[in-house]
Structure 1
Amino acid sequence: MLHLNKVIKVFVCILLLTACSNDESKEETPIDEDALFLSELQSIVDSKIGADKLLGASISIRIDGEERWKLQGGISSGDTPIAEDMRFGIASITKTFVAATVLKLEEEGQLSLNDPISKWLTLNLPNIDESITIRQLLGHFTGLLGYFRHPDIWPRVEGNLETAIPPIELADYVGEPLFAPGDRYEYSNSNYLILGLIIEAVSQKTVGEVFREKLFGPLQLNSTYFPANESITGPIATPWRDSNGDGTLQNISSEFGPAYHSVFYTAADVFSTASDLSMWPQHLFNGSLLTQETKNKMLDFTPIDDTIFTGYGLGVREVTFAARSMWGHTGGMRGYGSYMFYDPTTKVSIAMLNNQSRSQNGPLLRYELVNELLQKVFQSL
């Protein structure tokens, strides 16, 4: 009996030692903090995706040039999910590329921001004052009415989707000015249409050629395109739009041909991936693409009375996210919505691309998604 008790005691000790050993090994197993944080960011994205929410989104977040987080959610079309290499229309973020190109041309001595339109173009149009300067065009201080607002332009586009409209003819759709040049700030796509025409007049090349020569090529933005002048290669996220206002998104990829690309032109026609687009503000604000003197001009913000958009510089918005002042731009066009911003304090940049437009909650959801992701990132730093 005593022998049996000893055996039992030894057996119990072995069990206890094994349990302790297992507990210690569990405690020593390291937690993958990076994977956990990525999962938390993905949960934010997932909360914005679904019925009556965002159809699809692609996000890239960098710190000082290093891509730290890539996130996707939702679908392109059918059963095809959004993938990180998909190209989206970035819409008015295009204006940052236009502004950078114009500022590079000034650095090279090819033009001056004080040049009037008349130095480079002869438009002879009653609604365009050719004394307007390049600086006023860049900062939206012209009073020019946006050409998309002309009642005849979209019927022309939709009436012949396969025929591109020559850029010079788009100027015919600029309506009666709202005020005299220089009076005040008023955002207008017409300003960047005319800047595109000036880029072509100065360079004697297409805008697409100049973009590729000065920006896309040297900066290795290999998934960024200007389809008004060149073909896109690689997968494209399917664009969706509530065209008739009934609350249902329609696939408009069959409509997105030469006419669409031509009408968006330098106001809105750059396409890119989230990864390329999050790298762009690192070059623009944190790199050597432009001199510091030029960047100071670009970032001389005119205050705007708005709860989100607090200022506008030369092709750059100043916006508050997560209680921080950030630089970049937003965009919205048929089938796409976009955000791209950079925080000068932490050197964090974010690009968020979404494949829908005119959806009831889309604009708010896009803002909330970017804001919540940035809050999480800033809290982790």
Structure 2
Amino acid sequence: MAAENIPGAAVFVIHKGVPVYERAFGYADKKSKTKFDFAKTVFAAGSLSKIITAVAILTLSENKRLALNSPVTSCLAGTNGPSKLSELPVFKKAKNVTPMSLLAHSSGLANCADLYAKKKNAAPLPATASDSALSATISASTAFASDPPLMFDFISKNIPRFNANNANTKFEYSNFNYALLGHLIEESENISFDEYIKNNIFAPLKMNYSSFSHTSLSKSLEEFGYEVNFASGYDFAGGEFTESLFREHNMPSASGLLTTAADIEKFVTMLVSICASHPSAPSSGRPVFSASGELRAGDGNTALPPSNTTAFPAVIGDETAGLLFKPRLPVKKNEASLLDAFPPIDSMAAGFRHSLFRGRDIFWHTGSVNGYSCGLYIAPQTSSAFFIACNSSNPAFRRKLIKYLLDEFYDR
């Protein structure tokens, strides 16, 4: 970490379906010397948001609220009638663009890099926050921007280039794809994207420290009396650290997730239990929650005792969630310049990128945004997953560590 100038980090490893390692290192905030806490340090997860969004879209499909392979124009009809987006010229041309096209970045819609609202917060989030500190924070207008609005206005005014010839035939990484998916959720359910995720993913999984809205998260923390610390994001240049400010997102469904390592561990353990396909994957290692909502790990070979536990919740059925781990679209090397070179991507599934590492499947996604970096890597054949997050824009630590972890667990 020191070699790459990383102030703080959190890491977990899931193997044979259960967490086997979890630890935080360094500082969430350098000035106050606040430690990076695995369970209670909130950080920005950037584009890892897209996996949450993908699962949300699949829940709508599973509940017959949205058809994955129908034209997006036919999906743009919520409880208040047809969306005005369907009247825009670009969508009249996009007859063969579907929600699945958006999930796999094969819509023909170009990337939109304008992630942040023009007005950014005047101050970073506090390094520590108790219920009393949060109350003061919420009342201070400079500390947090308002709740992210429904995404219609931004989308309608920022339609990127569209190439109909590329639809469903060519990979092009695009934040706009996931902004549009977020809008489809809002349009279908007539509630904000953040509210839908909270009700249908975060609450069932007891991801109490996660949100796509600064204000919503702060109010929840205050309401339930949770104590947290917010990681300050950092850039390092010229021998000095520069603290990054939290900024409101134009496209929260693409990159607006705020979370903790412990919360992501709950979400990922669910995914690993779904995607495990290797015949030797232990069924007895299925994870459970304690009554307090904390994950309880076993050795992957023996069942955990049933006392004071509840069955591990699944927010989505196995068959539907399997689409996350079904490669759909080949990706050429020259099409993936925005992505990490390791592991080398060869195809896209419905949300996850797919690579082969020594002949084994790796499904992965990363997030880098405004002073933060993280990466999630799932190996179905061994029911394994690796997660790395740090409060630095530098992705080098993440890239080096995942190479080490994949080597370490490859033959286990």
TM-score scaled to structure 1, two decimals?
A: 0.75
Residue 341 of structure 1: CA displacement? 1.8
What secondary structure is seen at the aligned counterpart in 2 of 1:140? coil
Residue 378 of structure 1: CA displacement? 3.9
- CA-to-partner distance for each residue in 1:143-170, whole Å, 9 max, x for gaps? 2122225xxx768245988466632222
What secondary structure is seen at the aligned counterpart in 1 of 2:27? strand
Task: Note if 1:240 corresponds to 2:234.
Answer: yes
Most deviating of 293-302 and 348-357: 293-302
The answer on whether the counterparts of 2:28 and 2:391 sit within 8 Å (CA) in structure 1 is yes
What does 1:73-88 correspond to in 2, within 5 Å? Answer: 73-78=25-30, 79-85=33-39, 86-88=41-43
Runs of 5+ unmatched residues, structure 2: 77-82, 123-141, 222-227, 275-313, 334-340
2:267 to 273, 277, 280: 280
Over the aligned positions, Cα root-mean-square deviation in angstroms equals 2.7
Counterpart residue number, 2:125: none
Q: Distance in 1 between matches of 2:101 and 2:264?
A: 26
What does 1:24-35 correspond to in 2, within 5 Å? Answer: none
Task: Note if 1:267 corresponds to 2:257.
Answer: no
Most deviating of 193-202 and 66-75: 66-75
Counterpart residue number, 1:351: 387
2:158 to 160, 173, 187: 173
The answer on whether the counterparts of 2:70 and 2:98 sit within 8 Å (CA) in structure 1 is yes
What does 1:60-75 correspond to in 2, within 5 Å? Answer: 60-75=12-27
Measured at CA, do residues 263 and 310 of structure 1 come closer, stay the same or move farther in structure 2, by a change above 3 Å? Answer: same
Counterpart residue number, 2:180: 194
> Percent identity between the aligned chains?
23
Alignment-mate amino acid for residue 250 of structure 2: V
Q: Distance in 2 between matches of 1:67 and 1:376?
A: 16
Residue 323 of structure 1: CA displacement? 6.5
Q: Distance in 1 between matches of 2:392 and 2:25?
A: 13
Residue 52 of structure 1: CA displacement? 4.0
Task: Note if 1:112 corresponds to 2:67.
Answer: yes
Counterpart residue number, 1:156: 118
Q: Distance in 2 between matches of 1:248 and 1:305?
A: 38
The answer on whether the counterparts of 1:88 and 1:355 sit within 8 Å (CA) in structure 2 is yes
Task: Note if 1:53 corresponds to 2:5.
Answer: yes
The answer on whether the counterparts of 1:98 and 1:196 sit within 8 Å (CA) in structure 2 is yes
- CA-to-partner distance for each residue in 1:79-138, whole Å, 9 max, x for gaps? 223221212111111111111111111111111012323231322445555532111111
Residue 69 of structure 1: CA displacement? 1.1
Counterpart residue number, 2:211: 225
Alignment-mate amino acid for residue 243 of structure 2: N
The answer on whether the counterparts of 1:299 and 1:313 sit within 8 Å (CA) in structure 2 is yes
Q: Distance in 1 between matches of 2:258 and 2:189?
A: 22
Alignment-mate amino acid for residue 395 of structure 2: P
Counterpart residue number, 1:374: 406
Counterpart residue number, 2:372: 336
- Identify the structure with the greater helix proportion: 1
Measured at CA, do residues 319 and 289 of structure 1 come closer, stay the same or move farther in structure 2, by a change above 3 Å? Answer: farther
Alignment-mate amino acid for residue 238 of structure 1: S
1:250 to 242, 262, 265: 242
Counterpart residue number, 1:136: 101
What secondary structure is seen at the aligned counterpart in 2 of 1:231? helix
The answer on whether the counterparts of 1:321 and 1:371 sit within 8 Å (CA) in structure 2 is no
The answer on whether the counterparts of 1:63 and 1:347 sit within 8 Å (CA) in structure 2 is yes
What secondary structure is seen at the aligned counterpart in 2 of 1:93? helix
1:203 to 184, 189, 196: 189
What secondary structure is seen at the aligned counterpart in 1 of 2:250? helix
Runs of 5+ unmatched residues, structure 1: 1-48
The answer on whether the counterparts of 1:221 and 1:276 sit within 8 Å (CA) in structure 2 is yes
Q: Distance in 2 between matches of 1:262 and 1:196?
A: 12
Counterpart residue number, 1:93: 48
Counterpart residue number, 1:4: none
Measured at CA, do residues 164 and 127 of structure 1 come closer, stay the same or move farther in structure 2, by a change above 3 Å? Answer: farther
